[in-house]
Structure 1
Amino acid sequence: MDFNKKIILSVGPIVLAGLVVIASLCIPTKAPVVSKEMICQSATALDKKVYTGELVVNQALSDPKYIPFIGASELSRFDMFHPNVLAEKYSRNYRPYLLGQSGSSLLNQYTMLNSLNNAPASGKIVAIVALSSFEDNDYQNDNFVNSYSELQTMKWLSSLEKVTEEDKIFADNLLQMPGSIISPVFNQALKKVSNGEKPNDFHRLVSKMKYYFDKNIETRFGVKVDDNPKHKKSKMYIYNNGIAENLNSLPDTYDEETLFKLSEKIGKKYSSNNKVGYYNPFYKMNIKNKPHKFNQMSGKYKDRYHGISKGFADFELLLSEIAERKLDAYFILPTMHPEWLKHTGLPKKSIDDLNAKLTEQLTSQGFNNILDMNQLSGDYLMQDPLHIGWRGWMELDKAIKPFLEGPKNPNLDYQLNDKFYSDEWKNYRP
């Protein structure tokens, strides 16, 4: 037996086995049933694999008890007034299902909602809009990349039968993202979609194979949100333990006035090492221990203006998906800690104009459930520059509790307007 035959006989079976494995991962397989325990845990885990995948989130949202709360890092600020803690403590008829990561953009939220097999069975959604989504800079795009889901993108690309305005805008946005998140093959497909053309058969086949490959990887290896739930470094432990610890700190009976007073008391307690109402660890880590960096922020945002941004088009994409899914939606509009406004020099008009435009964009199209946090006043609304604080969560609960506990609005009438994708709207100043 010559040398080449020996090589083929020794290596061939390994190569063949590898090809069989790869091929098996590129064909559709039936998704396993996710346990109720895993779904319950995943509701608060903010696990990236859940957020960028589809296995767990699709099964979770098929239960009408779970209402998706989409947002970014503010979702992870657990205290006793966090929506998940209040829902658990007072045995409400719903549970928030938290979907977001630190820095998750409106475009990430659109991608995730677009990938769902079906509309959430609750028929509802809560969207916490982040101020950072309306900052036109590389930081915003980097945030998208950090929460980017190739699986969800390939699912969208492989299933395109007709290219809509939303598809064109989404494809164009993907093409503008930094880094190599899209391979050359799919880059060509996105250019076609951006121009209003369907991907060709080759692109559809390859994207479908890639989707099934990623889906099977997720099914077999990727999702372990309940892995080591008692391990102190796991997200499951951190967030579920955070809820458990806070449950015992709340009064047994829900009383709004009592809880508001308690939120102010707790806010004062946990911001005791400074005079401006920042959460103690934030103040110690970012101000007391880094005075030079803090001083560099003085007046830094005096020329920043959030009222002009490409974020309005991304927001419209999200609204289009909410309307397509016929979801009853509640929107929480952003604010900033007043002391941070003062320190950075950001004009309050920047946020006022942003929220005025968001409100017009929402109400003119039939989205009428809105809490503008920038219109609220008082202490402890925010725990740091951008994240909701103790009394802030109570203000949110006061606003959305009837919406969450009640039935879905049977008379939804969304009238979408493409003008909100335009440069004219982006550049409009109220």
Structure 2
Amino acid sequence: MKKKLFGIFGPVLLSAVLLVLLFFSPFKINSSDPKLIKAASSSMAGNVLRGNNITKEALSTDKYVPFFGSSELSRISPFHPSVLAEKYDRGYTPFLMGAPGTQSLTQFMMMQSLGDELKDRKAAFIISPQWFVKEGIKRDYFDAYYSPEQTLNWLMHLKKVDDSDQYLAQRLTHYGVIRKDERLERMLTAVMKGQLPSKTDITYSKLKLNMLEREDELFSTIGMISKQDLIDQNVKALPANYDHDELDSLANQLGERATRGNEFGIQKQFYKKRIEPNLSNLADSQKKWDYRYSPEFSDFQLALNQLAKEHSDCLFIIPPVNGRWSQYTGLSDEMLQQFANKIKYQLTSQGFTNIADYTSQQNEPYFMQDTIHLGWKGWLTADKKIEPFLKNRGATKKVYTINNHYFLSKEWQEEKPENVMK
């Protein structure tokens, strides 16, 4: 009888013992390994973005600069910031903080979990107009990069609840992945009411956070595929010395070669796979699209509030949408310009003045790689702002005038761009 019971429960008990030993053993990945950090900086891997271990280690030095964004960061070309920084030995490596599907909520969660690693630091932030849709970040996108570790990190560090905490708690409870956790939902409900979570919930959550941090230490490199080989390959395409005219000529050549075969200036592979099969159905398909009214504006405010808390100096890059493609799909150029005016008002009125707005360059050949992502000329043009901005990366101690009361409100989300200063 005992043998039968052991045959049934023995493997379960053994697995439990091994799991306990694993979690309490001193073993962990060597997050200070320079090769590992370099690989992680371009991986945009979910485990890296949802965790803190490797990113905090990287940003604890002046060797890495956080580049917040989304899918445009994944498209490596000779003019990508990671390639230019490596080729021309600029003394820093971009740490790509984003991936296809990451938006302001995800960016904020990553920022706040980094804590002092952003303090008095410089950063770059690419703002995609496509984030600012009527309902804000889609459930699938949020769920893909949701981090229980980062969420509990925020809750465990609350000393008092302010308006940004209440707004964040309210936003998080919109998503099913949050509502599946009864304790977390209860804690967020307390924060929404302006209260700190109960001591019982905090005690339990500290234990859970310790476990999640241990998982991060052990497993954050699983599934991590670095883009370093692709970066090295593109480095070879660049001239030995940085000469803007020579690079501009190269960008024209590469862009022309890559976009042959369609009238929109879209990379051939993307056009053949994503556009051509449905081309006739896409005519005038974006006439009703509007990026001027969205909860994303307030989600973006969370990120600004965090940058201000850490006195970070950030360069904000606003890319255009491919002009020829917009004309075909009916996407309003006037709407895009108004979106840019609204987001720039949100930035400048609070003291964020380092802005590279390229929305008026939507018709420049090879500025875009496809319909919405910066291409050869686009990244090269952006580098004219990035290079001087990051040349001196000493402590910044920037001071801002944050207006959360307005910019976290429904009123701001629905504000007409013509009612704000340009």
Relative to the length of structure 1, the TM-score reads 0.90
Q: Is the partner of 1:116 in helix, strand or coil?
A: helix
Match of 1:319 in 2: 304
Match of 2:378 in 1: 392
Q: Check the 8 A contact 2:178/2:184 in 1, yes or no.
A: no
* Between 28-37 and 84-93, the greater mean CA deviation after superposition: 28-37
Match of 1:301 in 2: 286
Q: Is the partner of 2:96 in helix, strand or coil?
A: strand
Match of 1:254 in 2: 242
Structure 2: which 5+ runs fail to align?
none
Q: What is the one-letter code of the residue matched to 2:415?
A: Y
Q: Is the partner of 1:246 in helix, strand or coil?
A: helix
2:258 paired residue among 238, 260, 270: 270
Q: Provide Cα deviations, 1:15-62, integer angstroms capped at 9, x if missing partner.
A: 487278459848999985430111111111111111111110010011
Aligned residue pairs total 415
Match of 2:225 in 1: 235
Runs of 4+ in 1 over 6 A off after TM superposition: 26-31
Q: Is the partner of 2:94 in helix, strand or coil?
A: strand
1:16 and 1:224, CA in 2 relative to 1: closer, same or farther beyond 3 A?
closer
Q: What is the one-letter code of the residue matched to 2:313?
A: D
Q: Provide Cα deviations, 1:384-421, integer angstroms capped at 9, x if missing partner.
A: 11111100000110112100112447462200012111
1:409 and 1:23, CA in 2 relative to 1: closer, same or farther beyond 3 A?
closer
1:383 paired residue among 344, 366, 369: 369
Match of 1:423 in 2: 410
1:409 and 1:371, CA in 2 relative to 1: closer, same or farther beyond 3 A?
farther
Q: Check the 8 A contact 1:380/1:392 in 2, yes or no.
A: yes
Distance of 1:413 and 1:212 partners within structure 2: 34
1:240 is displaced (CA, Å) by 1.2
Distance of 1:321 and 1:427 partners within structure 2: 23
Distance of 2:85 and 2:380 partners within structure 1: 12
1:32 and 1:89, CA in 2 relative to 1: closer, same or farther beyond 3 A?
closer
Distance of 2:188 and 2:26 partners within structure 1: 24
Q: Provide Cα deviations, 1:297-319, integer angstroms capped at 9, x if missing partner.
A: 22122122211111110110000
Match of 1:159 in 2: 157
Distance of 1:407 and 1:47 partners within structure 2: 26
CA-based RMSD of the aligned residues comes to: 2.6
* Between 171-180 and 383-392, the greater mean CA deviation after superposition: 171-180
1:322 and 1:356, CA in 2 relative to 1: closer, same or farther beyond 3 A?
same
Q: Provide Cα deviations, 1:232-284, integer angstroms capped at 9, x if missing partner.
A: xx722xx1111111111111010111111211111001101222210010111
1:235 and 1:30, CA in 2 relative to 1: closer, same or farther beyond 3 A?
closer
Distance of 1:333 and 1:125 partners within structure 2: 15
Q: Is the partner of 2:95 in helix, strand or coil?
A: strand
1:171 is displaced (CA, Å) by 0.8
* Between 406-415 and 346-355, the greater mean CA deviation after superposition: 406-415
Match of 2:62 in 1: 64
Q: What is the one-letter code of the residue matched to 2:373?
A: H
Please list, as runs of the form range in 1=range in 2, the aligned pairs for 1:406-417 lying within 5 A after superposition: 406-408=392-394, 410=396, 412-417=398-403
Q: Check the 8 A contact 1:92/1:405 in 2, yes or no.
A: yes
1:67 and 1:11, CA in 2 relative to 1: closer, same or farther beyond 3 A?
same
1:411 and 1:393, CA in 2 relative to 1: closer, same or farther beyond 3 A?
same
In the alignment, does 2:344 pair up with 1:359? Answer: yes
* Between 298-307 and 322-331, the greater mean CA deviation after superposition: 298-307
Q: What is the one-letter code of the residue matched to 1:104?
A: T
Match of 2:72 in 1: 74
Q: Percentage identity across aligned positions?
A: 32
1:208 and 1:422, CA in 2 relative to 1: closer, same or farther beyond 3 A?
same
Distance of 1:121 and 1:66 partners within structure 2: 14
Q: What is the one-letter code of the residue matched to 2:387?
A: K
Match of 1:176 in 2: 174
Structure 1: which 5+ runs fail to align?
226-233
Q: What is the one-letter code of the residue matched to 2:133?
A: E
Match of 2:118 in 1: 120
Match of 2:148 in 1: 150
Q: Is the partner of 2:210 in helix, strand or coil?
A: helix
